[in-house]
């Protein structure tokens, strides 16, 4: 996986590639193919509902909700059946990556929508673009905003700038995106301050782990799902459990493995696969380290009856 570099607030200088308004769209006429985007996409739902579907899950965005899609995330956008939706979309980078990494949104994104494709082709050259992220705070995957009028005003102004291109419009476009990012950061701070003690969603998080422990858990993605940066998520998770998220998941998997081994019905390989380990040798080493004995020894303690 390509390494992601981080920027602080003093070093970001947004380059806005494209701004779009999709007004009063209906489910049947809304054609966004499965695709990989190569820059950041910011979505703001002004009215109705919009579903963002990714390989790892989906998010239902309602009125006055914002959503950010990082680069290289495979996804599609859908309007729920029978619904209408008005939303704004902005494609941008946190800094200008240079002419060699720039591209035409009309050719890469819009043309594929107009061709009614189910899946857009992958551009291998654009997949190699450098990745930059905001290091101080994770942008939200779904958050209701406090001042939708302010968001809408900035977005409409940016659309007008893109269309009219007045003198020095590029600077005004940059200022507009900075203003939106500032609104987002204030909303993130507000949401966190309104929460009860840290990790208000702790029971939901642990429930998710219990339901999906056998899968490849991406904790950075999971933290963003619940509105945290990964560093904050890890800190408060450990405060609540005494364990890091990875340690907690490991203990959960091995606890389940013990239960399965005690039945005497499954081989070590079958148990390893069932609890999320494709490498039986690694599973056995981890089991011995954590439980003090090999998983195969359970067949002697708990013979198959």
Mark out the alpha helices in the chain (DSSP H runs): 105, 111-114, 148-164, 169-194, 202-212, 219-225, 230-241, 245-262, 268-274, 280-291, 298-301
Domains of the chain, residue spans: 4-194, 197-305
Can you tell me the distance from the alpha carbon of 99 to that of 92, in angstroms, rounded to the nearest whole number?
14
Q: What is the pLDDT of residue 232?
A: 82
Query: Whose CA is closest to 68, among 225, 261, 174, 216?
Result: 225
- Binned at pLDDT 50, 70 and 90, residue 199 comes out as low
**Is 245 or 300 the better-scoring residue by pLDDT?**
245
User: How far, CA to CA in Å, does 187 sit from each of 65, 87, 216?
Assistant: 11, 19, 31
Q: What is the pLDDT of residue 305?
A: 39
User: How far, CA to CA in Å, does 173 sit from each of 69, 124, 159, 166, 251?
Assistant: 20, 29, 9, 11, 49
Is domain 197-305 classified as CATH 1.10.10.60? yes
Can you tell me the distance from the alpha carbon of 72 to that of 122, in angstroms, rounded to the nearest whole number?
10
Dump pLDDT digits (tens) for 222-242.
887 777 788 888 888 888 888
Dump pLDDT digits (tens) for 150-190.
999 999 999 999 999 999 999 999 999 999 999 998 898 78
**Architecture of the domain delimited by 4-194:** Sandwich (2.60)
pTM (2 d.p.): 0.65
**What mean pLDDT is reported for the chain?**
88
- The proportion of the chain whose per-residue pLDDT surpasses 90, expressed as a percent, equals 54
Tell me what the mean pLDDT of segment 21-29 comes to: 89
CB 127 within 8 A of CB 77: no
Could you tell me which residues come within 8 angstroms of residue 215 by beta carbon, excluding any fewer than 6 positions away? 276
């Amino acid at each position: 996986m390509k390494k992601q570099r981080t920027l602080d607030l003093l070093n970001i200088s947004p380059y806005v590639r494209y701004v779009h308004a999709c007004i009063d769209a209906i489910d049947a006429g809304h054609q966004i193919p499965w695709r990989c985007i190569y820059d950041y996409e910011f979505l703001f739902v002004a009215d109705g509902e919009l579903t963002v579907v990714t390989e790892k899950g989906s998010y239902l965005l309602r009125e006055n909700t914002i959503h950010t899609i990082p680069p290289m995330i495979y996804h599609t956008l859908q309007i729920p059946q029978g619904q209408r939706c008005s939303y704004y979309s902005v494609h941008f980078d946190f800094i200008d990556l240079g002419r060699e990494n720039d591209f035409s949104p009309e050719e890469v994104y819009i043309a594929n929508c107009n061709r009614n494709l189910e899946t857009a082709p992958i551009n291998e050259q654009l997949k190699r673009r450098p990745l930059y992220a905001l290091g101080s705070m994770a942008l939200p995957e779904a958050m209701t905003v406090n001042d939708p009028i302010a968001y809408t005003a900035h977005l409409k102004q940016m659309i007008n700038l893109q269309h009219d291109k007045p003198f020095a419009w590029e600077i005004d476009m940059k200022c507009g995106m900075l203003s939106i990012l500032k609104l987002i950061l204030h909303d993130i701070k507000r949401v966190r301050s309104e929460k009860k003690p840290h990790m208000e969603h702790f029971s939901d998080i642990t429930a998710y782990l219990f339901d999906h422990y056998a899968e490849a858990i991406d904790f950075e993605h999971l933290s963003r799902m619940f509105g945290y940066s990964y560093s904050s998520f890890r800190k408060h998770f450990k405060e609540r459990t005494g364990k890091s998220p990875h340690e907690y998941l490991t203990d959960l998997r091995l606890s389940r493995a013990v239960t399965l081994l005690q039945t005497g019905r499954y081989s070590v390989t079958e148990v390893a696969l069932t609890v999320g380990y494709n490498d039986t040798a690694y599973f056995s080493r981890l089991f011995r380290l954590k439980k003090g004995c090999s998983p195969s020894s359970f067949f002697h303690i708990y013979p198959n009856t």
